[in-house]
Amino acid sequence: MATVAKANPQPVPPRTFGTSREDLNPYRIAQLQFDIAAEHLKLDPGLRQVLRTPKRIMEVAIPTKMDNGQLKVFTGFRVQHNIARGPAKGGMRYHPGVTLDEVKALASWMTWKTATVNIPYGGGKGGVICDPKRMSKPELERMTRRFLSEILPIIGPDKDIPAPDVYTDAQTMAWMMDTYSMTLGATSLGVVTGKPVSLGGSLGRNEATARGCLFVTEEACKVKKISLRGATVAIQGFGNAGAIAARLFAEKKAKIIAVSDSRGGVHSSRGIDPMKALRYKERTGTVVGMPGTSRISNEELLALKCDILIPAALENCITLENADQIKAKIVAEAANGPTTPHADEVLARKGIFLLPDILANAGGVTVSYFEWAQNLQGYFWEEHEVNAKLEKVIKKAFYDVYEAARKYHVHNRTGAYILAVGRVADATMVRGLFP
């Protein structure tokens, strides 16, 4: 008889700093960010309750045959937070630290992110509690296909459209698209985005998150009267978004002075060549030890004196504990939820210009929207067209957020939430309540 083991989510404990206590539960953080915007907008209490509550939550067991012949039962989630403005949209992450509250938070952030850049989507998110670094490719494929089959009733190109996220990629999306299509009996390209180009993926999608981050940072530099050429940049997280951001910023003649991954970071005041760093990581599995650099921790990287800091890792990197140590002039959040609400207030008092995640990393979902639109119409764009359309959407969103922040005399995150929550609230009220 096969041995069955189940992976269970672990709660995220609050941190204690001296006499102060900061709640790092991502879902409660997401709700607090919403509540702040709702207060500024003076929303009706009933409407607030609708907008802060996920529409649908699905938790599934994912029995998977491992390479050794044993069965392992993974736990997976798909959360649809809001679909007032269009189908749910959001990534699928594979990580041992996935929790339901994290997925609920990420789904709500997707609602506000799609509204910030004004594309016709709602917010969704999914995740599986697993350690993909310890799984073979066949194991990942079997788990992915079973996961997709379990959540299949609630997804579809007009319902909910998954995409890659932490430790998932174009191959993961190809397996999901194929599983959905084989069950449906017809090829459905638009059921997921972030696919390989050979399966209807969009040109420019792989670079979209980092390129969107570059576009908003360029506009922030204009506002702050900082020249991007020669500006010093530190990047925490050297995965897909972080590594590509390093290359794109270097192409604009910015100086990359520090990068890091899960094992640690490296620093060089003379500058780091992003392509050399990427090749070194591909050979060794980490940037740590790269010739011509000195080793630093992820915490030390965040506290470096630089013009632009790009958190491109996971949530809760900038907290009440370390916010006062941040010395960057601009913080551009390429990751989801890297800064806590208490830290936001500290950064604002220090005069640091924050580019919130629902704006700074919205390039990925914007080009996912372009991919979905191309799939539905069966007509595909050249890469320069994709990048030009992305630039137009992201730069307009930057100034929409900036003006909202100035109008309400708040920092940029609250400005972005006021803009986004207002748009979703309007759509919800116009649609009304049925039945």
CATH code of the domain occupying 208-360:
3.40.50.720
What is 187-199 written as a DSSP string? --GGG-SS--GGG
Is the per-residue pLDDT at 20 higher than 50? no
Residue ranges of domains in the chain: 4-190, 208-360
Spot the catalytic one: 125, 255, 281, 329. Answer: 125
pLDDT of amino acid 365: 97
Per CATH, 4-190 and 208-360 having the same topology is answered yes
Is the per-residue pLDDT at 6 higher than 60? no
- Tens-place pLDDT, residues 307-356: 999 999 978 899 999 999 999 999 999 999 999 999 999 999 999 999 99
Q: Which helix (H) or strand (E) holds 414?
A: helix 412-431
- Tens-place pLDDT, residues 118-147: 999 999 999 999 999 999 999 999 999 999
% of the chain surpassing 70 pLDDT? 95
Size of the chain in residues: 435
Across the range 302-311, mean pLDDT stands at: 97
CA 146 from chain centre, in angstroms, equals 24
* Neighbouring C-beta atoms of residue 136, cutoff 10 Å: 11
The topology (CATH level 3) of 4-190 is Rossmann fold (3.40.50)
Q: How confident is the model at residue 21 (pLDDT cuts 50, 70, 90)?
A: low
How confident is the prediction for the chain on average, in pLDDT?
94
pLDDT of amino acid 23: 86
Q: How confident is the model at residue 1 (pLDDT cuts 50, 70, 90)?
A: very low
The reply to whether 125 belongs to the active site is yes
Residues 340 and 14: their CA atoms lie apart, in Å, by 12
Q: In this structure, are residues 351 and 374 in contact, taking their beta carbons and an 8 Å threshold?
A: no
Residues 302 and 306: their CA atoms lie apart, in Å, by 9
Q: In this structure, are residues 140 and 172 in contact, taking their beta carbons and an 8 Å threshold?
A: yes
Is the per-residue pLDDT at 183 higher than 70? yes
